[in-house]
Amino acid sequence: MTILPIRLFPDPILRKKSKEIDNIDLEILEFSNNMLETMQYAKGIGLAAPQVGRLVRLITIQVPECEPLIMFNPYVNKKLGKRMIPEGCLSVPGFTGIVERSISISATYIDKNKGKIQLSATELLSQAIEHEIDHLNGIMYLDHLESHEKLHKTGITPDDIHWHDVAYKVSINKDNATKMDLETEGIIERKIELSKIKSDGSIEEASFDV
């Protein structure tokens, strides 16, 4: 087992789209176990492969009191309802934001035994799956914020991490872009001025980073 280094925003790899996994071989299984261990070590409840530097469609999730999940090629088939909830991310340590997520989803993925699994999820599990699949498409929870005011310092930022204004933009190759890709581009062309974000004790600290 190996603890993998977690890439931090604004590392450009977090903005790239991950590829489908054609073959679940021993190497990728070992990598998925390392991801699980890295996620647990970092006290996160979810981790996506790009966060540890590899652009493949693989996520790990473990919500409290549930078995850990390793999901190859996951996708959401159905989303129901909307809710606003606090969210954090292992790649954006020390911040939490209020984002819109579904109330429930159903998802499909391949498990480590190469079985195709259908899963219905609500609450934290649903939120974590949506968050991690976003990572596979180069989307971060910051993109779902309605405004900077919806992002808050949690007060646990390590002193050695220096935050500054970050302008970021994703370019999508429009030759093969789907309508969704173009909408995504519209969403993620924005500037986050992290230095303007103030701590706000009135916001309940997000207990989980995903």
- HSE, CB side, 13 Å, CA atoms: give it for residue 179: 0
Q: How far is the CB of 23 from Zn ion (least distance, A)?
A: 26
Maximal C-alpha separation, the chain: 48
- Judge whether 56 and 19 are in contact, CB under 8 Å: yes
Q: How far is the CB of 183 from Zn ion (least distance, A)?
A: 21
Q: How far is the CB of 50 from Zn ion (least distance, A)?
A: 9
Nearer to Zn ion, 28 or 49 (CB): 49
**Interface residue list for Zn ion (CB under 5 A):** 89
Q: Which of 20, 30, 100, 132 is catalytic?
A: 132
Q: How far is the CB of 14 from Zn ion (least distance, A)?
A: 8
Tokens of 167: 């302008």
Cα–Cα distance, 103 to 191 (Å, whole number) = 28
Tokens of 183: 């909408």
**Is residue 204 among the annotated active site residues?**
no
Nearer to Zn ion, 72 or 132 (CB): 132
Cα–Cα distance, 180 to 187 (Å, whole number) = 10
> Which of 57, 210, 59, 203 minimizes the C-alpha distance to 124?
210
Q: Can you say how many angstroms the Cα of residue 81 is from the centroid of all Cα atoms in its chain? A: 20
From residue 22, how far is each of 19, 46, 56, 70 by CA, in Å? 9, 22, 10, 16
Nearer to Zn ion, 61 or 89 (CB): 89
Q: How far is the CB of 194 from Zn ion (least distance, A)?
A: 16
In the complex, residue closest to Zn ion by CB: 89
Rg (CA), the chain: 17
Backbone angles phi, psi at 83, to 5 degrees: -150, 155
Nearer to Zn ion, 48 or 119 (CB): 48
Nearer to Zn ion, 9 or 109 (CB): 9
Q: Write out the catalytic residue numbers.
A: 132
